[in-house]
Amino acid sequence: MSPPFLSLSNVNARHPGAESDVLRDLSLSVGQGEVVGVLGSSGSGKTSLLRVIAGLLPVISGAVVLNGVDITTVATHQRGIGLMFQEHALFPHLDVADNVAFGLRMNHVAKVDRSARVAEVLDLVGLGGFGSRDVSSLSGGERQRVALARTLAPSPRLILLDEPMGSLDRVLRDRLLPELAELIDQLGLTALYVTHDRTEAFELADRIAVMDRGSVIQIATPADLDAAPASDHVAALLGHR
């Protein structure tokens, strides 16, 4: 069996100034090209998990290994990881193209190569020709696509999606989720997808990791998780109680 593409081993992490750990002895492995959904109630540590992987929250103990390299203390910008938050955090003073190009500029990509890559990823997310548009003129779904294009532009080895559909209404979510699943599959991406929505996790993920109190308490395929939740808490999250 090949080693996991991403592994976290016995990770403990704490927010600055906090009195207790937000992640507790957490271990998780993700295979290359795998999509792992991260499901849990508010405060279970889902976003903190992504922040630790991205290098935005320091590890107290344990290790984070990506593609065979220990990145536990590697700077965020050197990890080759794309992170997309629920609120999208687009820059209002920049047009669509400049928003998408942000990570490429930070990586000192030449302007001509930057322009070509921006056009490529905008086409990928269905926004070809939108480069000069003001982000304030975009719909919620278009903003979500711009944020995804910005995440994909630097060709990250791993993408971390934190409630990316959370600010969208159900109709728009139902339309965009299959498109996102198809794009992830088309590009062969490895991804962690954080959500509190069972439907999203089951539709998108190859496996689902359920978190509670800063730890992964069960990880399984959607079918196995649904058939055999490991505890009453997991069953309740799945709507079985």
Q: What are the pLDDT digits (tens) for 9-52? A: 999 999 988 889 999 999 999 999 999 999 999 889 999 999 99
Helix (H) or strand (E) holding 120: helix 111-124
Q: Can you state the percent helix, strand and coil of the chain, rounding each to 5? A: 35, 25, 40
Residues 6+ apart with CB under 8 A from 203: 177, 178, 181
Give the type of residue at 164: P
Contacts 24+ apart (CB under 8 A), 95-98: 95/131, 95/132, 95/133, 95/134, 95/135, 96/122, 96/127, 96/130, 96/131, 96/132, 96/133, 96/134, 96/135, 96/138, 96/146, 97/122, 97/131, 97/132
Model confidence at 65: pLDDT above 80: yes
SS3 36: strand
What does the pLDDT read at residue 85?
79
Distance from C-alpha of 141 to C-alpha of 147, rounded to nearest angstrom? 10
Distance from C-alpha of 35 to C-alpha of 62, rounded to nearest angstrom? 23
Please report which residue ranges of 192-231 form alpha helices under DSSP H. Answer: 198-204, 222-227
> What tens digit of pLDDT does each residue of 194-207 get?
998 888 899 999 99
